[in-house]
Structures are given as C-alpha cells and as structure tokens.
Amino acid sequence: MERTRSMRMAAVVAVLSLGLTACPDGEEPDEDGFAPGPGTPTPTEEVEVTGRGDGQLTIGRVLPESGFLDYLGESMINATEMAVEDINEAGGVLGRDVRLLEEDSGTDPTVAGPNVNSLLASGSDVIVGAAASGVTLSFLDVLFQNQIVNCSPSATSPEFLTQPNAAFMFRTVAPDDAVAPVIADEIVTRDGHSSVVIVNRSDSYGQSLADLVQEELEALNAEVLATVEYTEEEQTFDTQVNTVTENDPDAVVLIAFREGATFLRRLAETDFDVSAVYGADGVFSGRLPEFAAGEGGDVSILDGMKVIGASGSQDFNERLNEFLPEEAKSEFIYGGQSYDCVTILALAAEQAQTDDSSQFADLILDITRGGEKCTDFASCKQLLDDGQDIDYDGASGEIELREPAGEGNLGNPTVTTYAVARYEDGELTPVRSERVDLDIGATPTPQ
C-alpha cells in the first residue's frame, strides 16, 4: 500500500481526536435514530485495549446472537469458526493458533457497544462485525481512537464511504449502491412492474437502501407511489399495510429484518398479492415463511415472493451447511463474506508479521488485488512465504477491495455476486445469481 494511505489515516486520526473530545454529554439521537445509550462507548470514554503485539492474533467477533437479525447470524457465526479452523489447520498466524473471542451484537448499539469494549479488554486485535450498519456505526469511534481494524461482512450502508472515523473499517460486502440496480431491474425489466411502494426500517440501512432503490426504479421509468418507514418497535404495521392497499401498487419492496415477517403476515391478510413483494437481504432467509405464518400456520403464505442478497460460492455454501445447526440449514447469506473477513485479517497479520492491526491495516487492500491468485489461507500463506504478492479471492468470490474517494472507510469490494431466490411451497428456491462489477453493471448467471 502506498504511503499516502498511512498519511491520510494519521491525519484523520489527529483531526477527529481533536473534534471528538469536544462532544458534549447527553447527545441527541442522530438522523438514523441512534444515540449513545447506557454503557455505549462515547468518544471520550477510556477503553482498555490489551494483547496488542503479543504474537498471537486474537479475533473478536461481535455478530447477532439475539435481536431481529439472530436468524441470519447463524451463517456468519459458523463461517467465522470455519475460517479459524482452516487457518489453524494450515499452521496458524505467526506460528501460533488464531484465537477467536465471541460476543453478541444484537441489533441494538447498547448491546454491541459494551461487548466490543469487553472484546478489546480481553485482548482482541481485530473485530469482525457487526452485521447491521447502524450497530457498526455506533462503535466505530472506539475502534478508530484505538486504531483497531474492523471488518463487517454485511454492513451495506453507503454512509461508511464518507465516515472519517471508519478509516480502520473495511467490509467484504459491497455497499447498497451495488444491489439497488439489481432489485430495480428484477421488478421493472424482468417482471414488468411499473408502480411500487417501498416499506423500510428507519435506520441507516433501511433509509439508505430505500433512497437508492427509488432512484434506480425511477431511472427505469417506474413510479414510486409511496415510501413508508417504521421503527424497530413497530408491532402492528397498520400504517404500512394501509399505505400499500390504498396505493395499490404493482409491487412492494421490503427492506426489513426479522420483524418484516409481521408486516408480510398482515399484508397477506388483505387482497394484495404477496408474490409481488421483493425483499432485500435482511429478509433473505429460508425461515421467513415460518416466521410469517406463525405457529401452526401455512408456510406457503409467501409463495412467489422474491428476495435478493449477497451470496457465497456454491461449493462454500455446501460446506457451510455441514457446520450449521439443524434449524439453520441452508441459511447461507453473508457466510462467505464472514469467512473472508477472518481470512483477510489473518493474511494481513501474517504478511506484516505482527498481530498489531494498526501495523497491518495498510496491507489489507493489496491482499485482495494485483498479485498471484489464491483462494484459501493455506495457499495464500505459501505464496507469502515464497515472497510473492497475493490476490485473495475467497468464499464470496472475487473481492477486489478499493478505498473510497475522500475520507471514508478502509475498503469496499468492487466485484460481488447477488443471489435472486423465490419462495415456493414454503421453501427458498434459487432463481439465478448476478455478478456485479461496480464499474460496469450486472451480469446475470442462470443457476
């Protein structure tokens, strides 16, 4: 990595350190509805960091074991454990086994913040997580101030592209700019709809993706009749369902987490055809029909509905399925991206010959581009041992991390693959995958 990146990081750290120490107590919630809650790290809070440079890479994982994303957490959690096993079987990092520490992120900053503190105090050199964009944003300052590298496998909000305090955060999932055209194309070009209502969470993820999808729909000459938000505390979804039925659109875009199942159940009770609903990645789950139907209900309730989300390779997904508990079989979303987070961090530490992530942050982007191709830790490590540059393409496929223009996060994929799937007889059935090069556009691949 060029020296300019290191200089930019140092400058950003200095500027933000001055600015952040001036933040007053009792902050108001930001535009995404998040405010530091009890125990949530604030910029002025002292956080204990231990284990830096002790010769053993310790990965702190903060992914959802509770909250509205717990059902998607299974694939991410198991994939990180797979990656650590593979790395250690290949000899580990710096000649020692990688250590994995685990905490829950929930979908609430007041859960994730103290748990990130705990991971740092327990010796974590890097952090993998969180899953939700808003939760990840909530603890960035702590990692930034302590120069701890963070990889999220699923935080897709474009906000990270312009967050100066995200200078040590990279992700293995592309920002929502990549998926929005895929969603819009599915609705308009492929399925022929011309009027849409968007229902979305009122957080960083929901608001950003809703705006991007609306732009893409309108660019295809579709009419967005209404956009209706909801808070995480929503229970009845009366307003959202009424908005759909009153506007009578051809299609509905749902940008939600697990709570979206309640909206779908309520919508199915009306005359609206649920097969005209298109779900984003937060509801990409084989268990969504079960959640929507309720205990003893008809799991065919969502038949015909499509969901679109980031995918891993078929070979990796088959292997991951062996790790998953019975109730989470075939839950693959963000599994490949989680595996790649761990592997990239391990390769960076191995190349730098230190577990101090502030010393290997500058190596991360080049590990995924421009060198000799390799697809697992063992083969990549061998190339590094031979003195070669590497280009890691992993469980999620091509990655090609690049830093954004300006003072944003450390890096983002420029190549990604999305899966389009449909519910049939209560089961999630693949339709196709689309490889997206952010410089070019989408290339459909029938499955």
Domains 3-173+334-413 and 177-314+417-446 share a fold: yes
In angstroms, the CA 349 to CA 235 distance is 45
Q: Could you report the per-residue pLDDT of 279-330, keeping only the tens digit for each?
A: 999 999 999 999 999 999 999 999 999 999 998 888 999 999 998 988 888 7
The predicted structure's pLDDT at residue 326: 87
The predicted structure's pLDDT at residue 45: 60
Exposure string (b/e) for 267-303, b if CB count within 10 Å is 16 or more? bbeeebebebbbbbbbbbbbbbbbbbbeeeeebebbb
The predicted structure's pLDDT at residue 12: 39
pTM across the whole model: 0.87
Radius of gyration of the chain measured on its C-alpha atoms: 21
Residue (of 308, 276, 305) closest to 194 by Cα position: 276
- The 8-class DSSP code of residue 327 comes to G
The predicted structure's pLDDT at residue 311: 81
Between strands 149-152 and 126-129, the pairing is parallel
The predicted structure's pLDDT at residue 441: 59
Q: Report in angstroms the alpha-carbon separations of 255 from 7, 142, 209, 379, 426.
A: 38, 29, 8, 39, 20
| CATH of the structural domain 177-314+417-446, one choice from 3.40.50.2300, 3.90.1150.10, 1.10.620.20, 3.40.50.150 | 3.40.50.2300
The predicted structure's pLDDT at residue 1: 35
The predicted structure's pLDDT at residue 181: 96
The predicted structure's pLDDT at residue 375: 97
In angstroms, the CA 249 to CA 135 distance is 32
Between strands 195-201 and 441-446, the pairing is unpaired
- The residues spanned by each domain of the chain are 3-173+334-413, 177-314+417-446
The predicted structure's pLDDT at residue 312: 83
Amino acid at 350: E
Q: Please list the ranges in the chain whose pLDDT falls under 50.
A: 1-44, 446-447
User: What CATH number labels 3-173+334-413?
Assistant: 3.40.50.2300
The predicted structure's pLDDT at residue 43: 44
In angstroms, the CA 431 to CA 385 distance is 42
